[in-house]
Amino acid sequence: MSLSAELLLHGYSIGVFPMAEHRDDPELFWVDPKLRGVFPLDGFHISRSLSRRIRNSGLEITINQDFSGVVDGCADRADTWINAELHGLYRQLHQTGYAHSLEVWDGTALVGGVYGVTLGAAFFGESMFSRQTDASKIALAYLVDRLQQTGFHLFDTQFLTAHLASLGAIEIPRSAYKKELEEALNRSAEFTAPIRQSAAGVIQRITQTS
């Protein structure tokens, strides 16, 4: 099927999301898992080693500075569901303010990041990548802190992986997810709202809420 940016947003609003079988497959299909991965915003697990890494890495965190670079990084793997059409649709959503990225930089090198789509107070996490040890974990820690500070209610991870589970993500039934989604869509949040995010502050806030 061929999608428009508007239809893609409608899909998110009713709890489904698109995927391709692989990057070279032009066909897209909707996914509506019976069990949905979500990140409780007060449940991020930050280990001592990750805490040290955040404090001492010297990495820089930005938002929306290289959206295409983050999507490219997420698609740069042997098995990816991000085909050319999806990449283009996410760029359109980014240009209209519905898709956002968080980047992790080591100097001028993009070493990690995460991107997703926002509607109301819901953040639909699409994918993340890492080119340096713990870069994707650091990206998620900063993302969770930003979502907490800017009024988000739902952080949807679509599926639960062992990596996400180790950081605090859980699975909930489809019916429970739809209730959470409805509540989030009836609220407002602003991903790009100006906030302060120092390494020490992120660690302190996450530790207090987890």
Residue by residue, pLDDT tens for the chain (210 residues) are 578 999 999 999 999 998 888 877 878 889 999 999 999 999 999 999 999 999 998 999 999 999 999 999 998 877 787 888 888 999 999 999 999 999 999 999 999 999 999 999 999 999 999 999 999 999 999 999 999 999 999 999 999 999 999 999 999 999 999 999 999 999 999 999 999 999 999 999 998 887
Which structure tokens are listed for 167?
Answer: 């950081």
- At 104, give phi and psi (nearest 5°): -120, 125
Place of tokens 């996490």: 125
| E strands in 85-147 | 99-106, 109-119, 122-130
Number of Cβ atoms within 10 Å of the Cβ of 39: 23
Q: What is the C-alpha separation between 10 and 181, in angstroms, rounded?
A: 13
pLDDT on residue 1: 55
pLDDT on residue 79: 77
Which of 164, 157, 179, 182 is CA-nearest to residue 33? 157
Q: What is the C-alpha separation between 154 and 176, in angstroms, rounded?
A: 12
Longest dimension (CA), the chain: 46
- Which domains can be identified in the chain, with CATH numbers? 34-79+97-209 (3.40.630.70)
Element (H, E) at 16: none
